[in-house]
């Protein structure tokens, strides 16, 4: 008999095969010795009640001998002499486009302004230690893109965009833990991602693909409304049958290439706010209804959303057991984000809390046309830079002081490595954002008792939640509306948000190209 069922287990039993088998035997009413194997298909935590449990979806085999299926390995082809596709940007969108092109028999040539994962580490250390941002190699730029020093949460709501399992199994193939295939909220962690990115590069190189790091694209080669290739800052030309442009949402200079060439760019809504940080112990006690999470439960997470005066206010990229990081991509900016290691074992829980910004909120910037959101972002990041003593620190305030419009005499301990300085974030953020955040924080304090506390700090600014512009493409062929064979892709094109959805967009672009040129 093969039977699929759901079981629940207390946290201390989750990693014990015998406990799982016993519970399955009890549920399906067969003696324990009749259970051959139990395969775990999905795993999640149910913390709605006092008694926190793990919930497992399992497939039980009683008589059949079961050979555990590995994930499906991909059939990468050797493509050295095949048609080349230029991919600008080695983030999740670009790298997954490249992996899929290998399967489809086309040669990926990947170009990135940043350095490989190994060398990138030095620039990351420099940001933390000396507050120096290299505009070509930082938390967002370089091999793996913003995905490398990200938190590595792999959940997405965009399941309709493609096969999430394909993305997860590709990560596993390159060194990620198999747990991500069953966890309801899969997570890799910043400590593991660089090695995985390195392994993916090896696969691409071994199959005849090419990489060019420290090569910043400054223009397109367009003839008869068809893109032929790109030119980098050293004047090197890269040509191919198509160009996938996957440069992320921070590369404002890439949008300038469109403006310079009078190519369509559209403004789109985005979100902006602050990053809030609490002691992880406090979040654990709220979410797990007990003084401490104990030995068997992971650092607790949360997700919050409310509506204040016609705008959504929501938590974004919550990092349990994580740290806040400086994710500016250029000089004269302070931008914050969050990440965590695979063990999620820091003493802090941080999350972006952001307010949606609609196009009508940018009326003051209307003279800038499609650039309005970019200019707005830039101004606020500069204000945060000024408040943080020319970017040496991130401006911060105790949560309760922020909401009461009061300067903080001192701050709670904080994970942000370059350091924080007390400043009034109400003077940095526009009123439409700060006042909505005030209301939202008190609402969130009612939803999660203890969340609204002076123990928490808010840091500014969380400005890069998604792209404020879209590079419009034909919904059928995914090419830019005015340029044939140019595939705007991933988060920077405005068609994805997060690692998995960007990866899926990359895969979809690769498939469109193969279909167009080879009919496969
Ligand atoms: C600190 C942090 C934590 C995050 N945590 C998570 C998380 O837990 N889960 C999640 O889903 N998402 C997370 N994200 C967001 C996620 O990283 C992005 O959504 C994702 O990386 C976008 O993928 P992309 O390939 O579209 O662009 P990117 O990853 O931004 O990659 C773009 C690449 O293009 C390159 N590039 C830019 N301009 C040029 C140019 N002119 N020439 C050549 N190359 C260029 C850049 O160097 C970069 O490598 C996090 C982001 C940050 C910064």
Contacts of 15 (CB under 8 A, 6+ apart): none
**Do residue 294 and residue 424 come from a single domain?**
yes
Q: What DSSP assignment string belongs to 301-351?
A: ----EEEETTEEEEEEEEETTEEEEE---STT---EEEEE-TT--SSEEEE
- Residue 224 structural domain: 84-265+471-518
Say yes or no: 486 and 405 in one domain: no
Task: Give the per-residue pLDDT at 490.
Answer: 98
> Which is the closest atom of ligand 1 to the Cα of 149?
1
Cα separation, 512 vs 497, in Å, equals 20
Q: Which residue lies with its CA nearest to atom 52 of ligand 1?
A: 150
Ligand 1 near 145 CB (within 6 A): yes
Q: What is the pLDDT tens value at each position of the chain, 520 positions in all?
A: 889 999 999 999 999 999 999 999 999 999 999 999 999 999 999 999 989 999 999 999 987 776 666 667 789 999 999 999 999 999 999 999 999 999 999 999 999 999 999 999 999 999 998 889 999 999 999 999 999 998 889 988 777 889 999 999 999 999 999 999 999 999 999 999 999 999 999 999 999 999 999 999 999 999 999 999 999 999 999 999 999 999 999 999 999 999 999 999 999 999 999 999 999 999 999 999 999 999 999 999 999 999 999 999 999 999 999 999 999 999 999 999 999 999 999 999 999 999 999 999 999 999 999 999 999 999 999 999 999 999 899 999 999 999 999 999 999 999 999 999 999 999 999 999 999 999 999 999 999 999 999 999 999 999 999 999 999 999 999 999 999 999 999 999 999 999 999 999 999 999 999 999 876 5
Same domain for 405 and 350: yes
Q: Do 51 and 111 share a structural domain?
A: no
What ligand 1 atom has the least distance to the C-alpha of 145?
49
Q: Would you give the distance in Å from CA 498 to the centre of its chain? A: 4
Q: How many residues are there in the chain?
A: 520
Please identify, by atom number, the ligand 1 atom nearest to the C-alpha of residue 152: 8
Whether residue 329 has its Cβ less than 6 Å from ligand 1: no
Is the residue at 73 inside a domain? no
Of the three residues 439, 462, 485, the one that is the final residue of a domain is: 462
This prediction's pTM: 0.96
CA distances for 489 relative to 102, 316, 464, 495, angstroms:
18, 22, 17, 7
In this structure, is residue 166 part of a structural domain?
A: yes
| 347 contacts: CB under 8 Å, gap ≥ 6 | 279, 280, 281, 415
> What is the whole-number distance in angstroms between the Cα of residue 272 and the centre of ligand 1?
17
Residue nearest to atom 33 of ligand 1 (CA): 89
Gap between the Cα atoms of 193 and 171, Å rounded: 9
Ligand 1 centroid distance, CA of 189 (Å): 15
**The sheet that has 226-232: what strands, in order across it?**
217-223, 226-232, 237-239
Q: Whose CA is nearest to atom 11 of ligand 1?
A: 498
- Domain boundary (29, 61, 93) is at 61
Residues 130 and 108 in one domain: yes
Q: Which residues sit opposite 210 in a β-bridge? A: 109
What lies within 8 Å, CB to CB, of 472 at 6+ separation is 264, 265, 266, 480, 481, 488
Nearest partner of 211 among 119, 104, 75, judged by Cα: 119
**CA 229–ligand 1 middle distance (angstroms):** 22
Instruction: Identify the residue whose C-alpha is closest to ligand 1 atom 15.
Output: 498
Q: Which atom of ligand 1 is nearest to the CA of 155?
A: 11
Residue 59: which of 16, 6, 4 has the closest Cα?
4
Q: Is residue 79 part of a domain?
A: no
C-alpha of residue 506 to centroid of ligand 1, in Å: 13
Is the C-beta atom of 92 inside 6 A of ligand 1?
yes
Q: Do 41 and 18 contact (CB within 8 A), yes or no?
A: no
Instruction: Give the per-residue pLDDT at 71.
Output: 67
Q: Does any domain span residue 363?
A: yes
Pick the residue whose CA is nearest to atom 53 on ligand 1. 146
What's the half-sphere exposure (Cβ side, CA atoms, 13 Å) at 324? 32
Contacts 24+ apart (CB under 8 A), 409-415: 411/457, 412/277, 412/454, 412/455, 412/456, 412/457, 414/277, 414/324, 414/348, 414/457, 414/459, 415/277, 415/322, 415/323, 415/324, 415/346, 415/347, 415/348, 415/350
The DSSP symbol for 290 reads S
Give the atom of ligand 1 at the shortest distance from the alpha carbon of 491: 26
On whether both 318 and 234 belong to a single domain, the answer is no
> Is 69 inside any structural domain?
no
Examine the domain organization and report whether 385 and 475 are in the same domain.
no
The residue nearest atom 3 of ligand 1, judged by CA position, is 150
Angle 243-246-355 from CA coordinates, rounded to 5°: 150
Judged on CB neighbours under 10 Å (0-12, 13-18, 19+), 48 is exposed
456 with 477, same domain?
A: no
The pLDDT of residue 67 is: 66
CA distance 405 to 423: 11
d(C-alpha 272, C-alpha 176), whole Å: 31
CATH of the domain at 51: 3.30.70
Residue to probe by mutation, ligand 1, list 95, 97, 110, 140, most atoms within 8 Å of CB: 140
The per-residue pLDDT for 161 is 85
Contacts of 189 (CB under 8 A, 6+ apart): 151, 152, 340, 341, 342, 343, 344
Residue located nearest, by CA, to atom 37 of ligand 1: 247
Name the domain count of the chain. Answer: 3
Any atom of ligand 1 within 6 Å of the Cβ of 229:
no
- Residue 25 and residue 88 share a domain: no
CA distance 498 to 42: 22
Residues 283, 238, single domain; the answer is no
Q: Are residues 399 and 485 in the same domain?
A: no
With a 6 Å cutoff on the Cβ, whether 90 touches ligand 1 is: yes
Distance of CA 472 from the midpoint of ligand 1 (Å): 19
Q: Best of 192, 212, 499, 506 to mutate for ligand 1, by most ligand atoms within 8 A of CB?
A: 499
Q: Which of 518, 516, 513, 520 is nearest to 98 (CA)?
A: 513
Same-domain status, 294 and 173:
no
Of ligand 1's atoms, which has the minimum distance to the CA of residue 247? 34
For residue 426, being part of any structural domain is answered with yes
480 is a domain residue = yes
Q: Is the CB of 462 inside a 6 Å radius of any atom of ligand 1? A: no
Distance 15 CA to ligand 1 centre (A): 34
Strand partners, 426: none
Q: Which residue has the tokens 């933390």?
A: 128
60 token code pair: 């039980």
Is residue 461 reached through a cis peptide bond, with omega within 30 degrees of 0 on the bond before it? yes
93 lines ligand 1 (CB under 6 A): yes
Cα(463) to ligand 1 centroid in Å equals: 14
- CATH number of the domain that 152 lies in? 3.50.50.60
Helix, strand, coil percentages, rounded to 5, for the chain? 35, 25, 40
For residue 74, tell me if it sits in a domain.
no
Place of tokens 């992971």: 298
């Amino acid at each position: 008999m093969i039977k699929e069922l759901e079981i629940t287990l207390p946290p201390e039993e989750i990693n014990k095969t015998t406990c799982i088998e016993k519970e399955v035997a009890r549920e399906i009413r067969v003696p324990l010795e009749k259970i051959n194997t139990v395969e775990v298909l999905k795993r999640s935590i149910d913390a709605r009640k006092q008694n926190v449990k793990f919930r497992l979806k399992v497939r039980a085999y009683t008589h059949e001998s079961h050979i555990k299926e590995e994930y499906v390995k991909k059939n990468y082809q050797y493509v050295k002499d095949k048609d080349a596709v230029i991919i600008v940007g080695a983030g999740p969108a670009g790298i997954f486009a490249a992996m899929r092109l290998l399967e489809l028999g086309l040669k990926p040539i990947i170009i990135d302004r940043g350095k490989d994962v190994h060398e990138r580490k030095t620039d990351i250390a420099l940001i933390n230690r000396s507050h120096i941002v290299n505009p070509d190699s930082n938390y967002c730029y370089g091999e793996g893109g913003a995905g490398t020093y990200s938190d590595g949460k792999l959940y997405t709501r965009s399941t309709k965009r493609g096969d999430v399992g394909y993305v997860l199994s590709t990560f596993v193939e390159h060194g990620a833990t198999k747990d991500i295939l069953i966890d309801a909220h899969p997570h890799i962690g910043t400590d593991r991602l660089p090695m995985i990115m390195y392994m993916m590069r090896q696969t691409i190189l071994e199959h005849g693909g090419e990489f060019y790091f420290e090569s910043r694209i400054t223009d397109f080669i367009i003839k008869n409304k068809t893109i032929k290739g790109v030119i980098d800052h050293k004047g090197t030309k890269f040509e191919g049958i198509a160009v996938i442009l996957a440069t992320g949402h921070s590369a404002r200079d890439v949008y300038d290439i469109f403006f310079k060439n009078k190519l369509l760019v559209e403004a789109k809504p985005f979100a902006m706010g602050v990053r809030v940080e609490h002691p992880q112990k406090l979040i654990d006690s709220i979410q797990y209804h007990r003084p401490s999470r104990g030995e068997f439960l992971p650092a607790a997470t949360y997700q919050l959303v409310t509506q204040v005066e016609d705008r959504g206010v929501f938590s974004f990229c919550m990092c349990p057991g994580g740290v806040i990081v400086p994710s500016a991509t250029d000089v004269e900016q302070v931008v914050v984000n969050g990440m965590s290691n695979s063990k999620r074992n820091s003493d802090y829980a941080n999350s972006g809390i952001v307010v949606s910004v609609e196009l009508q909120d940018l009326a003051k910037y209307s003279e800038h046309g499609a650039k309005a959101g970019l200019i707005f972002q830039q101004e606020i990041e500069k204000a945060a830079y000024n408040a943080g003593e020319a970017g040496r620190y991130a401006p911060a305030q105790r949560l309760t002081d922020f909401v009461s419009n009061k300067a903080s005499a001192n701050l709670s301990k904080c994970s942000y490595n370059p350091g924080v300085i007390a400043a009034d974030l109400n003077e940095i953020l526009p009123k439409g954002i700060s006042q909505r955040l005030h209301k939202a924080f008190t609402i969130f304090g009612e939803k999660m008792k203890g969340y609204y506390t002076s123990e928490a700090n808010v840091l500014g600014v969380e400005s890069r939640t998604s792209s404020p512009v879209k590079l419009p493409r034909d919904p059928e062929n995914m090419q830019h509306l005015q340029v044939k064979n140019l595939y705007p892709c991933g988060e920077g094109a405005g068609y994805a948000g997060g690692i998995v959805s960007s990866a899926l967009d990359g895969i979809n672009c690769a498939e469109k190209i193969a279909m167009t040129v080879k009919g496969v």
